[in-house]
Structure 1
Amino acid sequence: MNTRKQVLLVRKKGTTAFMQAGGKIAPQETPLETLIRELKEELDYTITLQEAEYVGCFTAPAAHEPGYMLAAHCYLITCTQPLSAQAEIEETIWVDPFSSPSVPLAPLTQEHILPLARHLLSNAG
């Protein structure tokens, strides 16, 4: 999320569904180390361990791999610096979690991430 209370979504090259930035955990890597690596690779965005707040692990059907389920370790980050699409990322957009985005969404985003964002923002002090 950014200070405007929006959620960042990305679309990978050759795909239609928007989702969270991130990727598969490499051997010997923790979920948080994966997040740090993937944000740098996909968005040229650097965070420290302290900037990421763990919010849970969620499962959903994989958006672009029919028949597969994914388990995603999710973190809340407040973006404070510019970011730009890199590597396999074709497009980035910011969405208001309280509105219905007019773009196709990955199941994880639709079923877990946007509802979680609405909950966190509704209960923010």
Structure 2
Amino acid sequence: MTPVIRIVAAVVLDDRNHVLVVRKRGTTAFMQPGGKFEPGETPVQALRREIREELGAGVVEESIRSLGHHDAAAANEPGHRVAADLFLVHLDGPPQPGAEIVEMAWVDPHSPGDIELAPLTVGAVLEFVRVS
């Protein structure tokens, strides 16, 4: 059986509807900001903590919108899958790379270019933005 990693992930859009993606230290694929749960955390608590740690910004509470649960191949753990609680959010300030983030990019969901994107981003996030 394939090991599953439970995560929370954020969809952050700019005024052009481009999607914020981040690349973590020691990895090649860009993905949504977010990560693993701490013991006892709810999905929204994990979301708030991960965004603060990774982007140095808070989440505007009234903007939090659940986009459901999505499964995909893990980008950085071969042979694993991620089970993600995905949320559309607005930040209370400009994102700045923090924690293990070494690079950020804004991706056009209709024309992402040649940037290496995580399967969750390709299969769930970009598709959501394209149709909304």
**TM-score, reference length from structure 1:** 0.90
Task: Please tell me whether residue 22 in structure 1 is matched to residue 34 in structure 2.
Answer: yes
Q: In structure 2, how many angstroms separate the alpha carbons of the residues matched to 1:79 and 1:30?
A: 19
Q: 1 or 2, which has the higher strand percentage? A: 2
Which aligned segments of 4 or more residues in structure 1 are displaced greater than 4 angstroms? none
Task: Please tell me whether residue 10 in structure 1 is matched to residue 22 in structure 2.
Answer: yes
Q: AA paired with 2:64?
A: A
Partner of 1:123: none
Partner of 2:68: 56
- Counting only pairs closer than 5 Å after superposition, residues 1-125 of structure 1 correspond to structure 2 as 1-79=13-91, 81-120=93-132
**TM-score, reference length from structure 2:** 0.86
Q: AA paired with 2:114?
A: S
3-state secondary structure, aligned to 1:73: strand
Q: AA paired with 1:119?
A: V
Give identity over the alignment, percent. 44
Gaps of 5+ in 1: 121-125
Gaps of 5+ in 2: 1-12
CA-atom RMSD in angstroms: 1.2
Q: Residues 28 and 80 of structure 1: is their aligned pair in 2 closer, same or farther, counting only changes over 3 Å?
A: closer
